[in-house]
Amino acid sequence: MSKVAVVFWSATGNTAAMADAVAEGARGNGAEVTVLGASGFSGVNVSEYDAIAFGCPAMGAEVLEEEEFEPMFASVESFLGGKKIGIFGSYGWGDGQWMRDWKDRCVSAGASLVNDGVMANYAPDETAIEECKDLGRALA
């Protein structure tokens, strides 16, 4: 059974709803899934999982949330070489620049990205929830 972590940050619940759907998809494909807040994860935890989904909304000015998620992600980046990962998150008024920048960071880190980043405009609609489940299935 593969071990999948879903590591996310969410202020108003939109990315949290996406995280639940990713976890559901991964469990549906037989993975053992651990769902964690960003503050509960760091670089030393990467090797404990076969695959990791990271979720964070667009914050600041098209950046990852800066107090918890960004420091956590900066700490895991150097451990992501060859690791199967996926990224997801909610956004508001932007055009997804935060996700494109984040994807580039993952590629630079040598991660094995299974997607281009699942995005939901504010609360995830049915399509976004399905994309999140697909992401979970792909990681399992």
Ligand X SMILES: Cc1cc2nc3c(=O)[nH]c(=O)nc-3n(C[C@H](O)[C@H](O)[C@H](O)COP(=O)(O)O)c2cc1C
Q: Return residues touching ligand X (CB under 6 A).
A: 10-16, 57-62, 90-94, 122
**What CA–CA distance (Å, rounded) separates 46 from 11?**
24
- Specify the residue, 15 or 34, whose C-beta has the smaller distance to ligand X: 15
- Specify the residue, 19 or 111, whose C-beta has the smaller distance to ligand X: 19
- Specify the residue, 58 or 140, whose C-beta has the smaller distance to ligand X: 58
Report residue 110 as tokens.
């040598």
Residue entry with tokens 């508001």: 92
C-beta of 22: minimal distance to ligand X in Å? 13
Give the Cα-Cα-Cα angle 18, 22, 23 (nearest 5 degrees): 115
C-beta of 68: minimal distance to ligand X in Å? 12
C-beta of 3: minimal distance to ligand X in Å? 25
C-beta of 81: minimal distance to ligand X in Å? 28
- Specify the residue, 82 or 93, whose C-beta has the smaller distance to ligand X: 93
**What CA–CA distance (Å, rounded) separates 19 from 25?**
10
Report residue 75 as tokens.
């700490």
Secondary element (H or E) of residue 130: helix 126-139
